[in-house]
Copies of this chain bind each other. A is one copy, B any other.
Amino acid sequence: MKKILILGAGLSSSSLIKYLLEQSNEYNWKIRVGDMSLETATKKIENHENGEAVKFDVFNKQQRDEEIENTDIVISMLPARFHHLVAEKCVESGKHMITASYVSDEVQALHDEAVRKELLLLNEIGVDPGIDHMSAMKIIDEIKVKGGELISFKSSTGGLVAPEFDNNPWNYKFTWNPRNVVVAGQSVAQYIDHGKYKFVPYNQLFTRTEKITVLDVGEFEMYPNRDSLSYRETYGLKDIPTILRGTLRRPGYCAGWNIFVQLGATDDTYSIKHSENLTYREFINSFLPYNISDTVERKLCDFLEIELESETMSRLKWLGIFDESKIGIPNATPAQILQKLLEEKWALGAEDKDMIAMQHQFEYILHGKKKQITSSLVVKGKNQIHTAMSITVGLPVAIATKLFLTGIIKQKGVIVPTMKDVYEPVLKELEEYGIVFVEEETYLD
């Protein structure tokens, strides 16, 4: 009997826990789920005979140490900043660990000791990062094997509402942490385009978009993500002249969101005193010059050079930013105020389902000819528990856990899933769950 400890039983753990419990009899696993809320952990277990729920507090060192000592492998679905606490104890106690989060410097520092103790610390095996790594590396490796020269790699992912439930003018609803959406992009985006380094400041970010079509779910626009340059090392593409990673939104979203950026309404660095007494209209007006004769709407249009009758203005009006209702939260930052408004308007309805869309675009030269491969994925949520986000984060983690416990994945140390012997079996099993990339190849010349 193998003991698996899952830390964190939030939304992103639903599909993960379900998968492991379903296979627990076949593989003789005991699944122990720890969460701050015992209720949340208990719910996810669904009274399964091999499941066990426990109230878990990551800051309680004694409990943390005991739980880790008493298991064989830890799956940490805690907020990313806590992983290193778990990872350090895992390495100390000779336990393996799997996470869906980016490798932090603290976790990376454990690599040598993990290798020495023959421990696996597998990270970035959810979705963005995770499925994107694996599906991209599959094609990158295939191009290399064929003898092709990769000259461009663009990759983008979006978590959105499924088209069937897409009924607001932004074509967007929150399917994940709203705060991350509000403050997204507030550090420079870096990429390389035809050999030229490109740095995109926040105030340009939502205008530097590219149009993309993904399978049958339609049109998107992609804005650049933070640091695309570091992926050259991750993917072994040191000299590639073009590499760009981005986030997908529906057309028009970025132009609308850019208004908030230009106004300063996404700023999270200062608090507005007595914001509870302001109306949303006054909030927006506070970013516009004083003018006794013009309306807030008029001033906003003049300042941003848009038309009162434009689609962008319709989107803004629909959000209620010109309404006289009170904000109600005290001493909030602009970003917090905006988030509160958006959480009301962009909430997923009780029957709504979400969607993950992803597309890689490769350009390469083979025998003197320029070819393009696009590899696209669309995953829709099953319900409000097994959302597309929960499925695409949790299933690769769960599958990798099984593949490791059954001896198929043999890697050791602190790794991300860019090796063929990791990504190949994981991608293969993901297909059984409907997570299937559609590849299209064309000549470009």
Residues of A at the B interface (CB closer than 8 Å) are 187-188, 190, 193-194, 196-201, 203-204, 208, 261-264, 267, 269-270, 272, 282, 285-290, 292, 303, 334
User: Closest residue of chain B to A207, judged by CB?
Assistant: B303
Whether A201 lies near B290 (C-beta < 8 A) is no
Chain B residues closer than 8 Å to A264, beta-carbon distance: 188, 199-201, 203-204
User: Closest residue of chain B to A262, judged by CB?
Assistant: B203
A99 to B430, CA, bound (A): 68
Chain B residues closer than 8 Å to A287, beta-carbon distance: 198-201, 204
User: Closest residue of chain B to A199, judged by CB?
Assistant: B286
User: Closest residue of chain B to A195, judged by CB?
Assistant: B290
Whether A199 lies near B262 (C-beta < 8 A) is no
Could you tell me the distance in whole angstroms from the C-beta of A418 to the nearest C-beta in chain B? 23
Known: A204-B262, A262-B203. A197 touches B272 (CB 8 A): yes
User: Closest residue of chain B to A244, judged by CB?
Assistant: B290
Whether A188 lies near B267 (C-beta < 8 A) is yes
Known: A199-B264, A263-B201, A264-B199. A188 touches B289 (CB 8 A): no
A270 CB contact (under 8 Å) in B188, B198, B292, B303:
B188
13 more A-B residue pairs beyond the given contacts A197-B272, A199-B264, A204-B287, with a C-beta to C-beta distance below 8 A: A188-B267, A188-B269, A190-B270, A197-B286, A198-B288, A198-B290, A199-B287, A200-B264, A201-B287, A203-B262, A204-B262, A204-B264, A208-B289
Whether A201 lies near B289 (C-beta < 8 A) is no
A59 to B194, CA, bound (A): 50
Could you tell me the distance in whole angstroms from the C-beta of A242 to the nearest C-beta in chain B? 8
Could you tell me the distance in whole angstroms from the C-beta of A184 to the nearest C-beta in chain B? 16
A203 CB contact (under 8 Å) in B203, B270, B282:
B203
A187 to B271, CA, bound (A): 12
A151 to B194, CA, bound (A): 57
Chain B residues closer than 8 Å to A334, beta-carbon distance: 199
User: Closest residue of chain B to A261, judged by CB?
Assistant: B203
* 5 cross-chain CB contacts under 8 A: A187-B269, A188-B267, A196-B286, A204-B303, A208-B289
A272 to B194, CA, bound (A): 18
